Amino acid sequence: MFEFTEEQKMMRETVRKLGIEKLEPRAAEVDRTGEFPWDLMKVLAENGILQLPLPEEYGGINADTTTLCIVSEELAKYCNTSSFVICIQGSNMKVISAGGNEEQKDRFFKRLSSGDEITAFALTEPSGGSDVGAMKTRAVRQGDNYILNGTKCFISCGSVAHIIPLFAYTDPGKGLKDGLSAFILEKGTPGFTIGKKEDKLGARGVPASELILEDARIPVENLLGEEGDGLEICLSAINITRLTVGCHTLGIAQGALDYAIGYAKERVAFGKPIASFQGIQFKLADMAIQLEASRSLLYRTAFMSDKGASGIERLSSMAKCFAAEVSVDVTLKAVTVLGGYGYMKEYPVERKLRDAMCSLFMEGTGEIQRLNIARFILG
C-alpha cells in the first residue's frame, strides 16, 4: 500500500488551485490558436513548478517520481500544455542528471533554474520512431566540435526550447547499444534550423516540429557521458517519463469525467436530469472504474520506483499503455454523455479527447509497450 506524504498532498492542492485560477481559463484559447503559451510558462516558473525536478541548490525540490506524477495529473485536468511541458522537463532533467558531468549539470541546471528556458527531447526521425536503431543522424568529431547531419521529427517544444537532449550515431557500425551518443543541442547552434511545424489533431499548444541539422556544430563539452552511452542515457529517463505521461493522460480523462458528471446532473431529457438514467449512470461508473484502475497501476509503480524496487520497466510499460488507452476511451465516453454538445468546440470534452489521443504515441506506441511487456513475461 502507498500513501501520499503531507508535502505531496500540499503540492497537489497548490497545483489544483493554480490550475483552476490561472491555467484552465486559457486552455481553450491555446488549443484554438496553437500558439505556445509563454505566459503560462511564466506562471509555472513563478510558482516553482517548472523547476520541480531540479536539485535544491538550483531552486528545485529534486521531485521524486510520485510527486512528478501528481503534478502531471493535476495540471492535465486543467491545461494539457502545462502538464505536457512538465513531463518533458522532468524527463530531460533526469537525462542531464544521468548523463551529465558536474560541469554540464551546473551549466544547464543553472539556466533551467530561472524558469525562463525550457527543454525538448529529440530522438524520433522520419526513418521510424518505433525502430530507434534506424535513425540516420550522424555526429562526426572534428577538433573541438561534433558535426551533426540529420533530421529529427515530431519534436515536442523543439521549436521553442533552449536546451535539447538529442541522440545521434557516432559509430553506426557498433549499432544502437554502443554506437549511439547523446548531446545537448542548444538554441542558436550554427547549422541548426527548425523545419516543418506539424498541424496536429490535439495537444495543439505544444508545437511539434522537425529539427534540421546541416553541418551543425555542437561543442565536445555538450557530449553527455562518453561516445556510445546514448542508449543508456536515453533509457535512464524512460521509465519515469512513461509514468508521468501516463498520469498526464489520466488527468486529461479525469477532467473529462468531472465535466461529464456536472453536465449529466444539469441536462434534462424526458423531464429528468440525464444523470438519473441508469444508462448514463453505468457509463459514468465505468469511466470512474477505468480511471481508478489506471491511477492505481500508475501510482503503485511510481511509488515502487521511488523506493528503488525492481520490475519498474515492465510495470511502467504496462501503466503507460493502459493509461493511454483508458484515457482515450473515457474521454470518448465523456463526449457521448454530452450528446451533440460533446462534439462542439464550445464544450471542453472534444478537446480532451483530442489531447488524450496524443498519449497513444508519446514514449512509444501501445504495440511497442506490448512488445516490451511480452519480452518480460515470456522471459
Q: Please list the active-site residues.
A: 363
* CB-nearer residue toward ligand FAD: 274 or 362: 362
Q: Does 200 bind ligand FAD (CB under 6 A)?
A: yes
- Using alpha carbons, select from 179, 162, 158, 182 the residue that is nearest to residue 170: 179
Give the one residue of 86, 203, 224, 238 binding ligand FAD; rule: CB under 6 A.
203
- Find the shortest distance in angstroms from Cβ 258 to ligand FAD: 24
CA-CA distance, 318 to 296, in Å (whole number)? 12
Give the one residue of 124, 170, 222, 316 binding ligand FAD; rule: CB under 6 A.
124
Amino acid at 14: T
Site for ligand FAD in 34-73 (CB under 6 A): none
- Using alpha carbons, select from 315, 363, 364 the residue that is nearest to residue 84: 363
Amino acid at 294: S
Name 106's Cβ contacts closer than 8 Å, sequence gap at least 6: none
CA-CA distance, 253 to 332, in Å (whole number)? 9
Q: Does 209 bind ligand FAD (CB under 6 A)?
A: no
C-alpha cell at 34: 496553437
Site for ligand FAD in 331-370 (CB under 6 A): 358, 361-362, 364-365, 367-368
Q: Does 303 bind ligand FAD (CB under 6 A)?
A: no
C-alpha cell at 231: 542508449
- Find the shortest distance in angstroms from Cβ 193 to ligand FAD: 17
H or E stretch at 117: none
Q: Are 155 and 210 in contact (CB under 8 A)?
A: yes
Q: Which stretch binds ligand FAD (CB under 6 A): 57-65, 125-133, 238-246, 256-264?
A: 125-133
Q: How far is CA 75 from the centre of its chain?
A: 12
Size of the site for ligand FAD (CB under 6 A): 23
- Find the shortest distance in angstroms from Cβ 241 to ligand FAD: 10
- If phi > 0 it is left, if psi is from -120 to 50 it is alpha, else beta; for residue 160 that is alpha
Site for ligand FAD in 126-155 (CB under 6 A): 128-131, 154-155
Give the one residue of 93, 122, 223, 349 binding ligand FAD; rule: CB under 6 A.
122
Rule CB under 6 A: which residues touch ligand FAD?
120-124, 128-131, 154-156, 200, 203, 208, 358, 361-362, 364-365, 367-368, 371
